[in-house]
């Protein structure tokens, strides 16, 4: 069984550091870390996770979107490990959306993100990939790359404290919109 990792939360220094590039992608420890990141994200109903969130200062993110209790309307995508990801293009258009974060449990923030992006990365097999993403998947990638830059995800982009709410109130708001 794959190990479920402890998640770093607000106040952990690893979340504030710029993560280091991964050089040896095929290294057994890197591959094991990717598997543990996927398992940890799934175990916590996440749609993505960055290595700093599991106390590893490495430039690795996993994007794994699917409907779950935390994200009931998430589209299916992944899991896809992105090593040393870099956003190479961004649309001019931004869109506000509600984000949660495994490192900021119990809260959601309404933040603007680029609607469409192009990301270049290396996959876990060592292949260079270029991917165009939009909407929710683009939001996940931007959120996770923020973690690699030492930015605590959605809190960094929050425009107004009024755009922050508890997870419980966010769920009530969703139910009222039905």
Q: How distant, in Å, are the alpha carbons of 103, 134, 138 from that of 94?
A: 24, 11, 11
Neighbours of 49 (CB within 10 A): 30
* Kind plus residue range of the DSSP H or E element containing 82: strand 77-90
Q: Which residues pair with 121 in a beta bridge?
A: 129
What are the catalytic residues? 144
Can you tell me which residue has the tokens 């982009």?
Answer: 157
Produce one character per residue of 101-133: b if its CB has 16 or more CB atoms within 10 Å, e if not: bbbbeebbbbbebbbebebebbebeeeeeebeb
């Amino acid at each position: 069984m794959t190990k479920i990792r402890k998640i770093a939360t607000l106040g952990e220094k690893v979340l504030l550091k710029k993560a280091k590039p991964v050089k040896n992608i095929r290294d057994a420890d890197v591959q094991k870390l990717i598997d543990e990141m996927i398992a940890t994200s799934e175990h916590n109903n996440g749609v993505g996770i960055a290595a700093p969130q599991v106390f590893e200062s490495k430039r690795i993110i996993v994007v794994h979107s699917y409907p779950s209790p935390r994200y009931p309307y998430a589209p299916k995508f992944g899991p896809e490990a992105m090593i040393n990801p870099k956003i190479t293009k961004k649309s001019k258009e931004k869109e506000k959306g509600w984000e949660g974060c495994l490192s900021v449990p119990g809260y959601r923030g309404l933040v603007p993100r680029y609607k469409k992006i192009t990301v270049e990365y290396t996959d876990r097999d060592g292949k260079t990939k270029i991917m165009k993403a939009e909407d929710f998947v683009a939001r996940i990638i931007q959120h996770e790359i923020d973690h690699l830059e030492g930015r605590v995800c959605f809190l960094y982009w929050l425009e107004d404290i009024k755009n922050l709410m508890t997870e419980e109130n966010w769920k009530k708001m969703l139910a009222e919109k039905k």
